[in-house]
Structure 1
Amino acid sequence: MTLRLQNLTAGYGKLPIVRELDLEVASGSVLAILGPNGAGKTTLMSTLAGLLPALGGEVTVAGQRLPNGKPAKANRAGVVLVPDNRALFNSLTVSENLEIARVRNGPSLEEILDLLPALRSRWKVAAGSLSGGEQQMLAVGRALVQKPTALLIDEMSMGLAPVVVEALLPAVRHIADTTGAAVVLVEQHVRLALEIADEAIVLVHGEVTLRGSATELKASPERLRAAYLGGETGTAAD
């Protein structure tokens, strides 16, 4: 159930933002995509989800090549995006938001509550009345009822206090371990992301300036700093 990018170039019109990217994310693993604002992270996630057509290269899921710029087909192939704006139906309750997104043979709502137990007490509350952290959990739960093979989470911490992010991110690790989904996580909280990821890359101006295991990168703070400045650093194991 591997998500694989081969020579992927992404951008807008004819303008490339992400250039010739090669990545592989195995089933049950978490890849953290780090980098400064404007690095191309959201452009990459939108392209993986089919919302933007790729300018070059290909994306495959479990060996199946995804059609270019076809979000419905990408979704049917198991690619599910949690966007940075969450895109909830604010007037609908937690249960209604989940039920409306659930696919045939997808996990039951009870299974989602087992994965995200904090939603249980908010079951009949309108999404617009939830806290920011609860809304983010609901957005993730809505993705999970679609039975993702590849789960893309764009800026989980957007607008949230660090203490809330610290409580939320371990759920991503639990989801990967429990569901077997290949998880791609765009995150600004570097330390917290590396705590729950298996591997990570730093993306700057659309190019990878550092990649390696999360354990290696945590042990190389000076290389992380250099990578954020756009310096070529190779792999953390070099």
Structure 2
Amino acid sequence: MSFLTLEGVTASYGASQALFGIDLSVGEGEVVALMGRNGMGKSTTIKVICRLLKHSAGKVRFAGQDMSSLPAHKAARLGLGLVPEGRRCFTNLSVYENLYASARPGEWDFDKVHALFPRLGERSDQLAGSLSGGEQQMLAIGRALMTNPRLLILDEATEGLAPVVRQEIWASIATLKKTTGLSIIVVDKTISELRHVADKVVILERGETVWRGTIDGLSTDIKDQYLGV
């Protein structure tokens, strides 16, 4: 059963249309990889899901509720946890304060986040702005988990990070898949890593859904046509 569904979704930035027909579904406990070349609508789709951008046509439903009229803060309260591209930590607040600011009652608390990312516990009193890029990404994921989401959305969670840190982030995503009932959307290009966590793949091209299937179904022709890899 689908937990999140987008059907025929279109959206625009002013007079410039960005999405022309997005079809996407995520089941409970399912990990979906959202793929496509740069500028094809992935981040815009995430904005529509999180209600940071209103869609102009189509349907968006989450946990059985029509999302069309919901503002972003009410959508978040339904259980949407976003790890945005570029991390966007509160750099002038400590690690502890960043986590505390987003905390909501539920399973995820400081102890669980520190168990997933021990370095956040070690640097609890350190300003977020003084952390490395990889540590800030861990903090961004931890901050989203502290909201106790039902759907976690990771927008380019490993982009620009050193290979060893990328491995840590991917390991944390695999742990979340194995040990929680979270539904997860991962926006990423790394097929070799996605292969270990993604239940299915959705590819966007010029603001439309052009392919859906399993990662093993990604033929060379499809990759060449839509992913450029």
Q: So what's the TM-score if we normalise by structure 2?
A: 0.90
Give runs of ≥4 in structure 1 deviating > 6 Å: none
Amino acid at match of 1:87: R
Task: Give the equivalent residue in structure 1 for 2:194.
Answer: 193
Bigger drift between 147-156 and 62-71 goes to 62-71
C-alpha distance in structure 2 between counterparts of 1:107 and 1:61, whole Å: 21
Provide, for residues 78-113 of structure 1, a one-character-per-residue CA deviation record: whole Å limited to 9, x for no partner. 112111121111122211110111013452211112
Give me the identity figure in percent.
Answer: 37
**Residues 194, 200 of structure 1: 8 Å contact kept:** no
Q: So what's the TM-score if we normalise by structure 1?
A: 0.87
Task: Give the equivalent residue in structure 1 for 2:4.
Answer: 3
Provide, for residues 137-191 of structure 1, a one-character-per-residue CA deviation record: whole Å limited to 9, x for no partner. 1001100010111111111123213342232122123223333121111113233
Task: Give the equivalent residue in structure 1 for 2:162.
Answer: 161
Higher relative contact order (CA 8 A, sep 6+): 2
Amino acid at match of 2:130: S
Amino acid at match of 1:228: L
CA positional deviation for 1:75: 0.5
The 5 A counterparts of 1:182-221 are 182-217=183-218, 220-221=219-220
- Secondary structure (helix, strand or coil) at the match of 2:126 reads coil
**Residues 35, 203 of structure 1: 8 Å contact kept:** yes
- Secondary structure (helix, strand or coil) at the match of 2:55 reads coil
Change (3 A) 1:86 1:206: same
The 5 A counterparts of 1:146-157 are 146-157=147-158
Task: Give the equivalent residue in structure 2 for 1:104.
Answer: 105
C-alpha distance in structure 2 between counterparts of 1:71 and 1:108, whole Å: 23
Amino acid at match of 1:124: D
Task: Give the equivalent residue in structure 2 for 1:19.
Answer: 20
Q: CA RMSD in A?
A: 1.9
- Secondary structure (helix, strand or coil) at the match of 1:195 reads coil
C-alpha distance in structure 2 between counterparts of 1:68 and 1:170, whole Å: 36
Change (3 A) 1:25 1:158: same
C-alpha distance in structure 1 between counterparts of 2:145 and 2:180, whole Å: 9
Task: Give the equivalent residue in structure 1 for 2:42.
Answer: 41
